[in-house]
A and B are shown apart, each in its own frame.
Chain A
Amino acid sequence: MISRVAENAFWLSRYVERIESLARLLYVNTQFVLDVTIEDIQRWSPLVVVVGEEERFQKAIDKNQQDDEETVRSFLTWDRTNPSSIACSIESARENARIIRETISLEMWETLNGLWLWFSDPKAEKLYRADQYSFFRYIRDQCVLFNGFALDTMLQSEAFNFMRLGASLERTGQTARILDVKYHALGPTRGGIELPMEIAQWQAILRSCSAIEPYFKVSYGELSGIHVANFLLFDKHFPRSVTRSLDRAWNFMQLIRPRGHKEIGQQSAKILKSLIQEMSSLTMDDVMEKGLHKKLTWIVDSVTDVCRVITSDYFTAQMMEPNSKDGSL
């Protein structure tokens, strides 16, 4: 497929994943710990840090406003000067979809365009004011609907594989970031007995990944930082765990690489493989020893590297000579 189109497909699904992830994070954070007292600064500022917009936030927002719940929420939801806001991600997702409208299915386009129209309408802001749960849930649901339509209505060929690859990698990074909220809110995790507010925080993190029930199935009801981190990093069956997401990324990367043309996509395959190998050789003890926060940062950075190499492997033309036979594959 056309390289530029593949790149748009890759990014389209990353934006959708981002929208969904942030909507869920905000939805959970708006609700959680109503029974535990956590200062706003501990509860809301970490969100700005984990989406990677701390610096912009510090500059754009008045100092004495920075701890304010609504300020943070609105910065992450509506602020068009914040490229990580839901508003900007919806805009980018929809623009990417418009560019490759010929590649995605009608249903996918209608879903995303519908979300974009809804979000730009005053009605959306009214709902935000009146009922935030419904507001963020609606956004999350539309993203899930989009992915569902992708699965059920789009040709499952190269463009689809690029989309799934992008989504899987984005999800890997998102899960690592969400897991890191705890560090930014309440400091390092060391094991042992945790405070009620730490437990509440872990619960919120699980919910932000839609993981609470799957987690309890595996942990038999026990709730602790190490168990939660272990689950979100290493569980082989949970669709949002780092390990599972990387496995999926690997599968889609294999589908993209043409058989009999080993040189295509070599670099990106190599770097993803070594990341997966390193992850699988890690134990929870190793992670705790080096510090959870450090390891999560390493995961986020590694995923960024993989994406960079995918870009040079597939999206910017390296092989500029036609193939020997007729030039086609």
Chain B
Amino acid sequence: MDQTNLSMKKKLAQEQLFAAYKPLAMTYDEYFAATGQAHPWTNTVVRHLESLGRDEFRQRARLASANFLEGGITFSVYSDNKGSERIFPFDPIPRVIDAKSWAHIDKGLKQRVEGLNCFLQDVYGAQKILKNNTIPREIILGSPVYRKEMQGIRPRKGNYIYIAGIDLIRDSDGTVRVLEDNVRVPSGVSYVLENRIVMKKAFPRLFERHQVEPVEDYPNRLRRVVCSAGSGRQSSMAVLTPGVFNSAYFEHSFLARRMGCDLVEGRDLVVKRKRVYAITTRGLKPLDAIYRRIDDDFLDPTVFRKDSLLGVPGLVEAYAKGNVTLANAIGNGVADDKAVYPFVPDIIRYYLGEEPILEQVPTYICDRKQDLSYTVENIHRLVVKAVNEAGGYGMLVGPKATRKEHQEFARKVRATPRNYIAQPLVELSACPTWTQRGPAPRRVDLRPFVLRGENTMVLSGGLTRVALVRGSYVVNSSQGGGSKDTWVLSGDGK
């Protein structure tokens, strides 16, 4: 290679990172305004990354990925029966949220989770909201995740939602909207913490120039909220996992480690005289609080699925007696059912007497005749979702699907309308994301984590998931999604 060629290459290598970056049309960009100017709160990040140059950046990106593999920060994939492990792809360009936007989100999330908790207390208690006809009775009581066994059972301190993960998106004009609530067993928080650690290793100087809200205290706070409703004895808490074959096992193990508590499987527990005990090398040890990462269905074979080998016989009885905290409570699914989602603003108004702070996405309920025919007629421009599926499964993105797929899905919706809702396709905001050819806009969402105990706190930021595939709207890890470190800047961010 001659000198000119070499210097050309060198020049290219040092070319400004964002020189060729073009925000997507009709889409809010997390880094740049429509004019092409960086937002005031992303300006310093952009300049710092530019100063590194491409080669340096690429090298650090590689370093970051290696970190995940070496640390065994992986998830198992169900689809191949070898049970192989993968890393959740990490994108090293952080997602940055300014203090003002975050204050709004923080307030809105606390309000929403409070409203949902009131709703659960009511649904499993007096059911005032149903008598009042704010929500159609059959939508609630007919929900497959409504647990009639829990009717009249009040969990300790009336707390149903200890941990919530509320999925947020930004639409084309930058408005934050709630896309989905997760108040059963939301996952992903370990990646928030690990992403931050890896990011700090790979880009230490970047943190010197910004005041980023810390995230490290989450496990400690989680422990406190889970223990808050019971005896308060921190030693008698455990994380309950389905086991090492679960795709989120890393997270279960991570949280147990950071909370300094035992990680148990169902077979490690027994119930005697309506109390829960762990089987230890020195006999039975009482447990007072369980952060469970097992779905309702599998918790207790004497009450729910009889074929469950993951659960603990008698656990529900101990819980009903108030002898153990389960976080989250049993039956929470009725609050994050996608068919209930359209009513959440009404739920907030009903219980809190306030206007909802956060917007959500307009939703058609296929169980309603009018909405059903609208959905079927307009299926090519709607996103249709099965109400009790997660992970991006059971979903049709109309504008991206073929005519044949439209017809097939419409047939399914007509067959069981209660199982579906439809929403207009929201142009999710995009964030610069590292690709083979440099940074390019990729769509993102955000899952903040809310802890509700004596007080409610929201972990600063949360998990930003990014659709790594060009043009994709699906951010789920099972469908080619990755994640980013998420920064909430303190004060003016300077």
Interface set of A (CB-CB < 8 Å, partner B): 1-6, 95, 98-102, 109-110, 113-114, 117, 158, 162, 256, 258, 261, 264, 314-315, 317, 319-323, 326-329
Contacts and interface: CB of A to CB of B under 8 A. Distances in A.
A322 B280 contact: no
Given A101-B253, A322-B272, A113 B70 contact: yes
Given A4-B279, A329-B285, 14 more contacts: A1-B280, A1-B281, A3-B281, A4-B265, A4-B268, A98-B249, A98-B253, A102-B257, A109-B72, A162-B281, A264-B283, A314-B281, A328-B285, A328-B286
A321 B273 CA distance: 10
Nearest to B283: A319
A156 to B, nearest CB: 16
A322 B268 contact: no
A161 to B, nearest CB: 10
Nearest to B285: A328
A3 B265 CA distance: 11
B70 A320 contact: no
Contact of B70 (A99, A101, A114): A114
B352 interface: no
Contacts of B431: none
A326 to B, nearest CB: 7
Contacts of A6: 281
Closest 4 CB pairs of A and B: A102-B257, A102-B256, A317-B279, A113-B72
A256 B72 contact: no
B489 interface: no
Given A5-B262, A102-B253, A113-B72, A319 B284 contact: yes
Contacts of A102: 253, 256-257, 262-263
B286 A326 contact: yes
Most buried by B among A99, A102, A264, A326: A102
B277 A258 contact: no
Contacts of A323: 283-284
A102 B257 CA distance: 5
A100 B249 CA distance: 11
Given A2-B264, A2-B278, A323-B283, A117 B70 contact: yes
Contacts of B265: 4
A243 B416 CA distance: 72
A114 to B, nearest CB: 6
A31 B266 CA distance: 50
Given A95-B244, A320-B270, A321-B272, A2 B280 contact: yes
12 contacts: A1-B262, A3-B279, A3-B280, A4-B265, A98-B72, A98-B249, A101-B72, A102-B256, A117-B69, A264-B281, A320-B270, A320-B284
A326 B288 CA distance: 12
A118 to B, nearest CB: 10
Most buried by B among A101, A114, A162, A321: A101
Nearest to A261: B282
Contacts of B277: 322, 327
A99 B264 contact: no
A310 B262 CA distance: 22
A77 to B, nearest CB: 21
Given A4-B265, A110-B71, A99 B281 contact: no
Most buried by B among A4, A6, A320: A4
A314 B281 CA distance: 5
Contacts of B236: 328
B267 interface: yes
A114 B273 CA distance: 46
